[in-house]
Amino acid sequence: MSMRPGAGDPRAHRRALALMVVAPTLWSIAGVVTRHLESAGRWEVTFWRSLFAALFVLAAMLLTRGRGAWEALRASGGYGLLSGAMWAIMMIAFMLALMTTTVANTLIVNSITPLVTALLARAVLREPIAVRTWAAIALAIGGMLWMFGSGFAGGDPRHLAGMLIALAVPLAAAVNLVTLKHAGRSVDLVPAVLIGTVLSAALTLAFAWPFQANAHDLILLAVLGSLQLGLPCMLMVRASPQLSAPEIALLAMLEVVLGPIWAWLGAGETPALATLTGGALVIAALLLNELAAFGGRVRARR
């Protein structure tokens, strides 16, 4: 099991926090980029994005490790297979949920990821969850409900089915984060991102065919695959040894807060007041959690 987060090098912890701010910031550009696609369908977006992400991660591994990349892939073992499967489930289930129910329903279900992660981490890793973290989780979920509650729809059987599909995302995310923490520093799980993207591309290929994307779309999908999916997933893996599983899940919620802002700036979609207010609550939850943790570390050092 890995060292308790915050008990090691404070500089390493700060670097991990920076990575976990950059990662959801990159994830959040998905909406504004996909708004500019011309002909690619949702399944095709999932396929190409996963394929380009796999190529990006593979290239990064070969560039940084050379022939050692294949040894790292083999050495990831059972942890790598489990984490890779969870990455694939998240990528596919999110798209399936969007195709079945509303965006609001999907995002509200996804907002329970920190809660599910905290409960699973407590059960599997025996990690004590600080009161401040529980409070931050509650405040963040409240902010998400405020942001998207007006668009919530749950009575139609189609919406209920979509929400059940969406539930796979927080469950898989929680299992993935606990796997990353359990592996600790002893197992490199960057190869798991490669496994997940390859699985996602393979499983969605049949649904994406025949391809409709033109050259313009393929360029944007390459950006999505490399900078919006492959790179930030690798950054999260790198940050995981220094942060608790619930902390990572909380910080990942920045993606949903920043997404509407990029859509506003890059696609002219003006966010509603509830979106801005709820987003402010989520950011407040993240800041309060990190400031309280920083204060605790300072007192511990003294």
pLDDT at 5: 44
Alpha helices in the chain (DSSP H): 10-27, 30-34, 42-65, 68-75, 77-100, 103-110, 113-124, 131-148, 157-183, 190-208, 215-223, 231-239, 245-252, 254-267, 273-301
Token representation of residue 19? 């990575």
pLDDT confidence band for 302 (50 / 70 / 90): low
pLDDT at 257: 87
pLDDT at 3: 40
Mean pLDDT, the chain, integer: 87
pLDDT at 301: 64
The stretch 184-209 carries a mean pLDDT of 93
pLDDT at 11: 85
The stretch 62-73 carries a mean pLDDT of 90
> To which residue do tokens 């708004």 refer?
35
pLDDT at 4: 43
pLDDT at 146: 87
The stretch 65-85 carries a mean pLDDT of 92
Residue 39 has pLDDT above 80, yes or no: yes
Token representation of residue 98? 């969007």
Question: How confident is the model over 234-265, as pLDDT tens digits?
Answer: 999 999 999 989 899 999 989 888 888 888 88
For the chain, which residues make up each domain, given as ranges?
Answer: 22-301
pLDDT at 294: 66
Question: How confident is the model over 94-151, as pLDDT tens digits?
Answer: 888 888 887 778 888 888 899 999 999 999 988 788 888 899 899 888 988 888 877 7
Residue 23 has pLDDT above 90, yes or no: yes
pLDDT at 239: 93
Ranking 46-50, 114-118, 278-282 by mean pLDDT, the lowest is: 278-282
Residue 267 has pLDDT above 80, yes or no: no
Residue 1 has pLDDT above 60, yes or no: no
| pTM of this structure | 0.86
* Crossing angle between the packed helical segments 77-100 and 42-65, to the nearest 10 degrees: 160
Ranking 50-59, 154-163, 196-205, 231-240 by mean pLDDT, the lowest is: 154-163
Other CB atoms within 10 A of residue 150 CB: 11
